[in-house]
């Protein structure tokens, strides 16, 4: 945003103030060579050199005019339409892996002013089961988790099973996770399950046994806030572990909807490209 503002202001100042002396210099040069015909001017080295010197823009003005349109287009795309992100941690495994490059819809939940996060146009509302990019209450950096609690919802986890408004969220076992559990808090192999929240089905990795401090704890989501959890249920810093567990609506950035590339090491891969469930 700073780059767009600076280059745009320079362009505007040049248009209003700095371009006028150059125009006057060009007119003076034309008057100096008024005896030449258009054909003679095109072949006259002195005239061409004088015109070039009179019309020459300062370097910072030239660069600002070149970069401003590109910066403005990128800024509008990233701020109001679609922004790319790279997944840095395993908190959303198996849905998202480290090195996944994802696309985030910035207008799905309304158009917001960049930086200030003020909603200026209400388009849609976050829904349970959405994969959401947001700022947590305690940090000014992007997080990505699954939204499991809407305003007014009562959230509880019993034996690593999610309950929303005292209703158990169905989990269908898929199999064991081949990733080693050693060095983690789980004493047995991780389990992959299909979890269904409302009309959305997604994969979750979890430890089959309970034991975390947040098991059996109950949270009631206040108005204008949301409750977030990672799909890697035993390896995710989310609403269950924050001092302030609820994400305010103004901290919502957008809805993650697609993986478009994977690049962790070596060559980029497009084998994981597709919609995010």
Nearest to 242 by CA among 251, 194, 34: 251
DSSP string covering 181-192, please?
Answer: -TTSS-SS--EE
193: its two tokens: 């399950």
For residues 104 and 101, give the distance between their C-alpha atoms in angstroms, rounded to a whole number: 10
226: its two tokens: 């949301």
For residues 2 and 163, give the distance between their C-alpha atoms in angstroms, rounded to a whole number: 45
183: CB partners within 8 A, 6+ apart: none
Active-site annotation holds for 37: no
Distances (CA, A) of 196 to 78, 92, 247: 31, 16, 22
List the catalytic residue out of 64, 106, 145, 236. 145
List the catalytic residue out of 91, 206, 239, 255. 91
SS3 116: coil
Active-site annotation holds for 206: no
State the catalytic residues.
91, 145
């Amino acid at each position: 945003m700073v780059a767009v503002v600076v280059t745009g202001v320079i362009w505007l100042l040049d248009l209003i103030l700095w371009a006028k002396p150059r125009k006057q210099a060009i007119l003076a040069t034309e008057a100096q060579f008024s005896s030449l015909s258009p054909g003679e001017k095109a072949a006259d080295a002195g005239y061409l050199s004088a015109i070039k010197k009179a019309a020459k823009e300062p370097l910072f003005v030239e660069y600002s005019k070149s970069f401003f349109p590109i910066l403005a287009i990128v800024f509008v795309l990233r701020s109001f339409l679609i922004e790319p992100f790279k997944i840095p941690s395993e908190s959303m495994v198996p849905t998202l892996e480290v090195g996944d490059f994802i696309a985030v819809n910035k207008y799905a939940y309304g158009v917001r002013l960049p930086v200030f996060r003020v909603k200026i146009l209400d388009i849609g509302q976050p829904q349970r089961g959405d994969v959401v990019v947001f700022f947590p209450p305690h940090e000014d950096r992007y997080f990505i988790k699954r939204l499991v609690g809407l305003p007014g919802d009562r959230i509880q986890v019993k034996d690593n099973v999610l309950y929303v408004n005292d209703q158990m969220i169905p989990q269908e076992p898929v199999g064991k996770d081949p990733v080693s559990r050693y060095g983690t808090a789980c004493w047995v192999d991780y389990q992959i399950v299909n979890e269904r929240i409302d009309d959305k089905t997604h994969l979750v990795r979890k430890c089959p046994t309970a034991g975390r401090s947040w098991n059996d704890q109950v949270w009631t989501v206040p108005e204008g806030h949301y409750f977030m959890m990672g799909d890697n249920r035993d390896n995710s810093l989310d609403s269950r572990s924050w001092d302030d567990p609820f994400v305010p609506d103004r901290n919502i950035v957008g809805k993650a909807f697609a993986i478009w590339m994977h690049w962790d090491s070596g060559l980029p891969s497009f084998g994981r490209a597709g919609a995010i469930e």
